[in-house]
């Protein structure tokens, strides 16, 4: 799969570069093909690096906040929770539905857990979560809603 990275904000597009970046509105020319943009787990026996970076997704079909028609996706970064310290933290979490961008969540260190709850208006499709660690790069998980 081809991945194109926005040179301005680090947004990753799948398959083709968009006319405009949906995060920072940079033009298509700002995107560069980078097939190594996303880290992949190193085999069946994943180590501590993978356990601290691969997003975990929990889908709940009945939302307690918005009501009927809302599907919750609770996301945390790492089976072992990733650090959120000034020198090492998760900078943002990008959310895609069927590989189309729907949201970016910016994080700051110290006061936040590397976790997020989102409320979807759809009850089917593939949810992809991409997180960026300031030291260890981008990691992805994709799951069926
Ligand atoms: Fe990290």
Neighbours of ion ligand 1 (CB under 5 A): 133, 135-136
Give 65 Cα–ligand 1 centroid separation in angstroms: 31
Encode pLDDT of 65-80 as tens digits: 888 889 999 999 999 9
72 in Cβ contact with 119 (< 8 Å)? yes
Residue matched to tokens 């405009």: 20
Give 28 Cα–ligand 1 centroid separation in angstroms: 29
Encode pLDDT of 12-54 as tens digits: 999 999 999 999 999 999 999 999 999 876 555 678 999 999 9
Of 116, 122, 124, which is closest to residue 145 (Cα–Cα)? 124
- Residue 44: predicted pLDDT: 56
pTM: 0.94
Give 82 Cα–ligand 1 centroid separation in angstroms: 7
Encode pLDDT of 72-128 as tens digits: 999 999 999 999 999 999 999 999 999 999 999 999 999 999 999 999 999 899 999
Give 108 Cα–ligand 1 centroid separation in angstroms: 14
């Amino acid at each position: 799969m081809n991945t194109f990275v926005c040179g301005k904000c680090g947004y990753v597009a799948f398959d083709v570069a968009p006319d405009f970046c949906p995060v920072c509105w940079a033009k298509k020319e700002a995107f560069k093909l980078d097939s190594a943009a996303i880290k992949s787990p190193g085999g069946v026996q994943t180590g501590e690096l993978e356990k601290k970076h691969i997003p975990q997704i929990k889908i709940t079909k009945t939302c307690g906040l918005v009501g009927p028609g809302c599907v919750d996706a609770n996301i945390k970064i790492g089976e072992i929770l990733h650090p959120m310290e000034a020198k090492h933290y998760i900078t943002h979490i990008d959310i895609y539905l069927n590989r189309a961008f729907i949201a970016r969540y910016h994080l700051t260190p110290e006061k936040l857990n590397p976790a997020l709850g989102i409320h979807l208006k759809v009850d089917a499709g593939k949810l992809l979560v991409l997180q960026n660690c300031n030291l260890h790069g981008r990691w992805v998980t994709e799951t069926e809603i």
